[in-house]
Structure 1
Amino acid sequence: MVWIDLILFFVLFALFVYIFVSVNITNLHKVYLAFHFTMMIWPFCQFAIKTTDNPTYQLFYVKAAFVDSALLSTGWVFFTILLTGQTRFLQRKILLLLSAPAIFSAACIIFSPCSWFVQPVNEGYIQRTYGPLFWIFIAVIIIQVVTSLYVISTALVRDLVPRVRKQVMLVLKGILAVSVFILLDIALNVVLDPYLPVIPGMTSLGILLSAVFFVVSINRDKVFDLATIAHQDVMDTIGHGIVVLDEYDNVVEINRFLGPHMHLHRGEQFNIRIIFPESSPAIEAFILEYHERPLERIEIEILHTVIRRYLKIQATPIMVSGLRVGRIVTFQDITELQRLIHETHQQNRVLQERNHSLIAVQKELYETNRQLQQMAITDS
């Protein structure tokens, strides 16, 4: 029975390695790998507690496991947001609000005044009882689970494409699996502990099942293949502004070139009208086409009166299997091109004026020659 948690730890580690070697590493992969590694800590700590008789080490492993769980619950919410495409939640205030309960419960676990979180049994922590701070920790876990379910519910009520809906349903199954096993662990090993023998590995098994659902979702739907390292490098080094939007016009990505000029952040709603400093018939026509013709590529050239630059703005749909999953809006600085065109027009105008002058001179010479010819054949 002692080895159950260690076996589950190695199974989680095998899944970790599988994801690492089977897909390209991007920022989203790094988020998942950190999340998956956090899932591995719980079963490892549960095993490590049983390998030592020193109460100090045992208490350390107990606290490490529960601090990991507090952080894991928050990481679950964040990763749920990423997988379901709810990027509007990725704002600084919301992220701080979601992180605060986990940080608070982790602080309670680490410092645990007067052993209010956990107390030893028989001078050790292999068997232990829990104090009031433990139930605060459980309340935080429940809040995070409810938050994840809320994120999923807001995704399901939207008109999702079948691929995304399947992905969201897998995330829901993963949350329900780990929640059920955590509740069983609390009920059997905490509430009914005086009446039943300890059943190890309950929470670890729930974490494993949830990880399996995530791995299936990642590999079946190719979640992380939407953006590669090469694409990100091109976006950050290209000399054009690029905004990537999802199907609901939420900002998914904005490159470095555009960052200093447009105060947009991932997750915010994009309003096409804010990029124009003033209105005109051409601009109003472009905005109308933007809203009414989302499946077509449209463009406009304007003189931005604030930055005093000529811009070429293009809006192009992102199509996957015949369905629009987003849109790319690009901003190209064509000021230099406009300057060259203006200089070319100026030179052409000067040449035309000189040409007109030469034609006039030619006419005068023709008239003078005609008069000389007439004088040559006429008496003095």
Structure 2
Amino acid sequence: MASSSSTQTNHQLLLSSSYTATPAPPPTPSNQNLPSSTASDALSRLLHHHLLPPPLLSLPSRLRPSPPLPRFSFHPNLTQSLSTTCPPPFFQLTHHPIPSHLPKSADLHSLSLFPPSHQSPPDTWPLGHDADGRSFCFDPASSSSPSLSSLTELAESLEKVGLEVVEALSCAVGFDNPLREKGRACSLMWVSLPNGPEDDEDGSAKAGLNPGRVYPYVVGLQYQVRRRKYSLLADSGWVSVEPEVDSVLVTIGDIAQVWSNGKLKKVRGRPVANLGKEESVGSSSSSCVSMCLLVTLSMDNIISPLVPLAAMMLEDSQGKDGDGDGDGDGDKTINKFCAFSFEEYAWRVYHERFHFKDPLDRYRL
């Protein structure tokens, strides 16, 4: 991963505030030596916004029936596999090069990083974290803490696979992969404890489904250490999936959707690990974590559709339900998104509340 020191600092400032509606973020490695008001002012100046209280995301709690989870093999040719069909918004990846001992070691080690129940997270936690101590994230490229060594090693392996996935998606959909350019890609590793158990009949979650802190990304990757069910917020709504053990759950993010000019569907936020009905939060059986790597971008990027206009015009003119001689909508929908600043978008997505609304809606044409 190639990421400048200024980019790492920008990510640290943006992510360092907690979920609570307190006037200033808690101290982290990026601001722990500064007065809280100074850190808050620096963040406000950086992003050209007032620091807003970051409330939890309010979302519907009902789940759709679990669809079959698409399965692709990393070897021998992932690009060819994804090109045979429109790439789905989420799928499991098998025959990948990640050795199984890495995620298992990181899984065991990461448990020691979470505070005991009902205790506040330690001031030494990296970058962003929630107020109740159930989730934190860090930038593997800028982390030198020995306590994160196993997680960092896993993150580096997942990132290599993630960059290959982005390359395969770009070839399958038909756009030039921006991550080929050195310095544009960076990653964030998100480590979370699971949600509460699901209800019986209606498929809703007792504690309310919530994808946690949402951050823009190209693809997300999560190694499956054990058998567990996850909830995903796709464009079509909440769905439940259960990947195979030792596979990698891949989710396509909002940035990939814009790059593909809407040809790719997305998953909003990270997969939510749900406890079984026989488990409860805090029990020994629920003591497992979700480790999700988000392949994202440096702050200075401008996001815009990358699929060639000629290709989009041809597809729109042909259409799925007509012969191209309709009302001319094809000419109006060649570009489905306008260009926007990644830095501004990341601030909005990470800090603001969206009531049942896709944050990309304001950028649609």
Q: TM-score, normalised by structure 1?
A: 0.20
Looking at CA atoms only, which structure, 1 or 2, has the larger radius of gyration?
Answer: 1
Pick 1 or 2: higher relative contact order, CA cutoff 8 A, min separation 6: 2
From the two aligned structures, give the one with the greater strand fraction: 2
Q: TM-score, normalised by structure 2?
A: 0.21
